[in-house]
Amino acid sequence: MQARVTNAESVGKRLALLSVAVGVLLSLTKILVGFAASSTSLVSDGFEGAADVVSSALVFVGLHLASRPPDQNHPYGHGRFETLSGLAVGALLFLVGFLIFWRSAVTMNSGHEVLSFALYPIFLSIFVKIALGWWKFRVSRRIGSTSLRADAWHDVTDLISTTVALFAVGLTLLDPVRFLGADHVGGMLIGLIVIFLSVRVVRHTVDFLTDTMPGDDVMRQIRGVAFTVPGALAIEKCWARRTGLKYHVDMHLEVDPSLTVRESHSIATQVRIAIKENLDWVADVLVHVEPSLTSSSRHDETSLNPSETRP
């Protein structure tokens, strides 16, 4: 299982590098063609693509640092570097969105004629971003990468902004007199879209940095595996927090109070091993053993109460 996760992380890093290379070519093409064709929305889209390049580089660095094993100073591993890179991507998106909006607004009254060849890099970008975005979402779900998911949303931003640029340039070419300001309005809309998605990315990342509990389905899986171990009578408390690509679990496990310390410790060890072997997204489990206070042990695996008992 560990080998499968490691291989997925490697795929994530290669995908981030590929995204950097593709993004450099696309952003340069959009900016150069946008200036040559006098298209504000295409230039804005090009700068948004340039931010995509930087964010992909941040994702690669984050995944590389997060894959380092735990050491004496980082006993929980280096996974938070991956989360921090996701936060940096969100902050970068917000800054770029604001600058794009501001530039498009201040140049609103500058009349110019947009040339038709501005459409060519737009069509190319739409095709490439659909493929890259779909791939990144798929890999991010597989490895549970916050930063790669943020980068995938950045591709969605780029795709939406490119579509806005397509309509803006198309309207301007269709009727240059009537829709002269459409190109600038398109640039402003691109900036607002980038700002909106940056808030979404930052909010998602902050949940991990503040140790927000995972969803009920995740906790149900952890409890379910714990109760497969003979002697695990109840779970008084079960908490989990995400550190990079994996979760660290804290569990208060109730056992028969007549057991010896050695026997109780053995059950706790088996619970820890079972959870790590069956749930490869769990990095480690800290099990605190407590005497069971209930004589009758009934457990409903669908229950999410703080204290649960084995059937």
What order of strands is seen across the sheet that includes strand 246-255? 282-291, 246-255, 234-243, 308-309
Query: Quick one: 53 and 75 in the same domain?
Result: yes
So what's the pLDDT on residue 1? 43
Give me the CATH number covering residue 139.
Answer: 1.20.1510.10
Start-end of H helices in the chain: 2-36, 40-66, 80-106, 119-143, 146-174, 182-209, 216-226, 261-278
pLDDT at 109 over 70: no
Whether 51 and 132 share a structural domain:
yes
User: CA dist 38 to 182, 183, 254, Å?
Assistant: 13, 9, 71
Nearest to 136 by CA among 20, 282, 309: 20
Does the pLDDT value for residue 242 go beyond 70? yes
Query: What integer pLDDT is reported at residue 22 of this predicted model?
Result: 84
Domain end among 193, 209, 225: 209
More confident residue, 242 or 224: 224
Placement of tokens 């952003």 in the chain: 27
Q: What are phi and psi of 194, to 5 degrees?
A: -65, -40
Identify whether residues 201 and 232 lie together within a single domain. no
The answer on 7 and 75 residing in a single domain is yes
Local structure of 32: helix, strand or coil: helix
Residue 18 — pLDDT band, cuts 50, 70, 90? confident
* pLDDT on residue 308: 56
- Indicate whether 172 and 247 sit together in one domain: no
Instruction: Give per-residue pLDDT as tens, 25-42.
Output: 888 898 898 888 888 888
Of 174, 192, 209, the domain-final residue: 209
Per-residue pLDDT at 298:
40
For the stretch 185-240, pLDDT in tens is: 888 888 888 888 788 878 777 776 666 777 788 888 899 999 999 999 988 888 88
Q: Which of 209, 238, 269 is the last residue of a domain?
A: 209
105 and 166 assigned to the same domain:
yes
Same domain, yes or no: 186 and 224: no
Q: Is the pLDDT of residue 300 over 50?
A: no
Q: Write the pLDDT tens digit of every residue in 55-106.
A: 767 766 776 776 677 777 766 666 667 677 777 878 888 888 888 888 788 7
- The yes-or-no verdict on residue 107 having pLDDT over 70 is yes
Quote the tokens at residue 108: 């609103």
Residues 205 and 220 in one domain: no
User: Over the chain, what is the mean pLDDT?
Assistant: 78
Task: Show the domain range for 232.
Answer: 216-309
Domain count, the chain: 2
Nearest by Cα to 244 from 81, 79, 87: 79
Domain CATH code at residue 274: 3.30.70.1350
Cα distance between residue 285 and residue 272, in whole Å: 5
Q: Does residue 205 sit in the same domain as residue 225?
A: no
Q: How confident is the model at residue 299 (pLDDT cuts 50, 70, 90)?
A: very low
pLDDT surpassing 50 at residue 296: no
281 or 24: which carries more pLDDT confidence?
24
Q: What is the pLDDT of residue 5?
A: 45
Same domain, 227 and 91: no
Same domain assignment for residues 185 and 280:
no
Q: How far is C-alpha 226 from the chain's CA centre?
A: 28
State the pTM of this model.
0.57
Bridge partners, 255 (sequence order): 291
pLDDT in tens, 141-171: 777 676 677 777 767 777 777 888 888 888 8
